[in-house]
Amino acid sequence: MSRFDLTPPSPEQRAALEAGLSADERRVLLQHGTEAPFCGVFLDNKREGTYCCRLCGLPLFRSSAKFDSGTGWPSFFAPFDAAHIRLIRDTSHGMIRVEEVCARCGSHLGHVFPDGPSPSYERHCLNSVSLSFVDAGEPLPDPMQRGGAEAGSV
């Protein structure tokens, strides 16, 4: 069980969070779009820290699980906490894939594929615009002001 509050944002909180999104962030996070490969701000990020949901701030992936997949998108072999990711069968684009969304707010993150490195053999392939980044030792974002684990750092 996650130590983070996974309760979805209220309609008022969601409206406030969505108001701060750029057009590209809206297209990806809310309309399940994809950013172009090899252009995302986090593709070559080598800093130590935590990748969080751009909309609600939930921690999603640690930098220690990041690897260079050569696909053009930030890739990870394991989530911060499996409870923070919801998997959805995606049959768009004439293929069957597994979409990943934030378990708290439902924002589109990317897709997971069974071709990653050990130990999980998973490749969580994410859009940079779906993420925010918190350097190691810094406090995690708490845009919904829930306190608790959100108010700490990892």
Nearest to 65 by CA among 78, 48, 56, 53: 78
Annotated active-site positions, please? Answer: 125
| 119 prior amide bond cis, ω within 30 | yes
Q: Is the dihedral of CA 9, 141, 82, 46 positive or negative?
A: positive
**Helix, strand, or coil (residue 61):** strand
Structure token digits, residue 57: 């701030």
**Helix, strand, or coil (residue 130):** helix
**Around Cβ 80, how many Cβ atoms within 10 Å?**
20
**Helix, strand, or coil (residue 65):** helix
Structure token digits, residue 68: 């260079």
The β-bridge partners of 153 are 139
